[in-house]
């Protein structure tokens, strides 16, 4: 972002950006640990993720407060205002990703406390989780570097994730049809798969906000091709 006459204004903007990236790093760790907990049934990992949720919630509130005070005191315009609005919307999506990770841990806890020793189709489930994490990482990298190009890659990757999620969903439904005794466990896995798919959707939301920040155009509800055209167009300012 451009420098301002007030060095304090620059410092406040940088503090907001740094806080977003700190929150994002914690949320990414939550998702990774949630999948590790699902693989191992390690209750200490589950408790760690649940404890981190409180920190993520507080960071969300703190960032909202920072942005509100920034608007009230500085009355930012143009790119600075887009930065503040991007942060407000993106941290909400990051908080929701943290919620998904916590709920995956709750499901993992239920599974292992019920005495289940194996998670059906875990390899496929873990694969889509890694895809969702990669999408989130690329969206956050785009935010950190103020680069809209990786944002379109995130949206394109979501199409692949959605297709693989639907394939896994069909496999799990087949498992339930073939073995009615597996229905309760398999429904838990279906819920976890849906939570992972939603993490991918939320990563796309962050990526779309980066395009808005950098290009000044709202690309929500646009196709990948339309988003590409916005990203490759000349700057709006």
Domain of 94, in residue numbers: 7-232
**pLDDT value of position 117:** 62
Q: Residue 164: give its domain's CATH number.
A: 1.20.58.220
Residue 79 CB coordination number (10 Å) = 16
**Whether the Cβ atoms of residue 213 and residue 146 lie closer than 8 Å to each other:** yes
Say if 237 falls within a structural domain: no
C-alpha span between 60 and 93 (Å, rounded): 10
**pLDDT value of position 236:** 47
Report how many domains make up the chain.
1
Say if 122 falls within a structural domain: yes
Q: What are phi and psi of 2, to 5 degrees?
A: -70, 155
pLDDT one-digit tens code per residue, 10-61: 888 899 999 999 999 999 999 999 999 999 989 999 999 999 999 999 999 9
pLDDT one-digit tens code per residue, 179-228: 888 898 899 999 999 999 999 999 999 999 999 999 999 999 999 999 99
C-alpha span between 71 and 77 (Å, rounded): 9
Say if 1 falls within a structural domain: no
pLDDT one-digit tens code per residue, 104-134: 999 999 888 888 766 778 889 999 999 999 9
Say if 183 falls within a structural domain: yes
**pLDDT value of position 237:** 44
Say if 89 falls within a structural domain: yes
Say if 29 falls within a structural domain: yes
pLDDT one-digit tens code per residue, 137-165: 999 999 999 999 999 999 999 999 999 99
**pLDDT value of position 193:** 96
Going from the C-alpha of 148 to that of each of 23, 228, 235, the distances in angstroms are 21, 9, 11
C-alpha span between 105 and 116 (Å, rounded): 15
**pLDDT value of position 235:** 59
Say if 2 falls within a structural domain: no
């Amino acid at each position: 972002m451009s420098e301002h006459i007030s060095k304090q204004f620059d410092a406040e903007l940088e503090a907001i950006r740094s806080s977003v990236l700190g929150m994002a790093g914690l949320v990414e760790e939550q998702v990774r640990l949630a999948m590790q907990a699902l693989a191992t049934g390690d209750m200490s990992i589950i408790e760690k993720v649940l404890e981190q949720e409180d920190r993520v919630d507080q960071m969300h509130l703190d960032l909202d407060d920072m942005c509100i005070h920034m608007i009230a005191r500085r009355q930012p315009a143009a790119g600075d205002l887009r930065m503040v609005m991007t942060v407000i919307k993106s941290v909400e999506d990051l908080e929701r990703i943290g919620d998904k990770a916590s709920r995956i841990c709750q499901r993992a806890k239920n599974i292992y406390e019920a005495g289940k020793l194996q998670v059906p189709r875990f390899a496929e489930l873990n694969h889509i989780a890694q895809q969702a994490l990669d999408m989130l990482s690329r969206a956050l990298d785009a935010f950190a570097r103020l680069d809209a190009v990786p944002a379109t890659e995130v949206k394109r990757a979501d199409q692949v994730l959605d297709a693989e999620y639907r394939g896994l969903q069909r496999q799990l439904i087949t498992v339930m049809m073939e073995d009615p005794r597996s229905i309760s466990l398999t429904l838990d896995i279906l819920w976890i798969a849906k939570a992972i798919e939603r993490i991918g959707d939320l990563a796309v939301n962050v990526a779309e906000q980066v395009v808005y920040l950098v290009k000044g155009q709202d690309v929500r509800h646009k196709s990948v091709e339309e988003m590409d055209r916005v990203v490759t167009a000349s700057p709006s300012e």
